[in-house]
Amino acid sequence: MSLVIGSDHAGFEAKQDLIAFLTKHGYKVIDKGCDSPESVDYPDFALAVSKTVQSGEAGLGILICGTGIGMSITANKVPGIRAALCTSVAHAELSRQHNDANVLCLGARLQSRGEREEITRAFLDAEFEGQRHARRVRKIHDITGC
Please report, as residue ranges, which positions from 62 to 101 form the binding site for ligand RB5 (by CB under 6 A). Answer: 65-67, 69-70
Q: Which of 9, 34, 65, 105 does the annotation list as catalytic?
A: 65
| Nearest distance in Å: CB 102, ligand RB5 | 20
CB 51, CB 25: distance < 8 Å: no
Burial of 131 (0-12, 13-18, 19+ CB in 10 A): exposed
Residues 115, 45, 12, 59: is their CA dihedral positive or negative?
positive
By CB under 6 A, how many residues form the interface with ligand RB5?
8
The residue from 8, 82, 116, 124 that contacts ligand RB5 (CB under 6 A) is: 8
Which residues have a Cβ under 8 Å from the Cβ of 38 and sit 6 or more positions away?
9
- Residue whose beta carbon is closest to ligand RB5: 70
Interface mask toward ligand RB5 for 30-69; x: CB under 6 A: ------------x----------------------xxx-x
Let me know if 98 is a catalytic residue: yes
Identify residue 88 by its one-letter amino acid code: S
Identify the DSSP state of 56. Answer: T
| Helices and strands per DSSP (H, E), number in the chain | 6, 5
Establish whether 146 is a catalytic residue: no
Residues involved in catalysis: 65, 98
Contact residues for ligand RB5 (CB under 6 A)?
A: 8, 10, 42, 65-67, 69-70
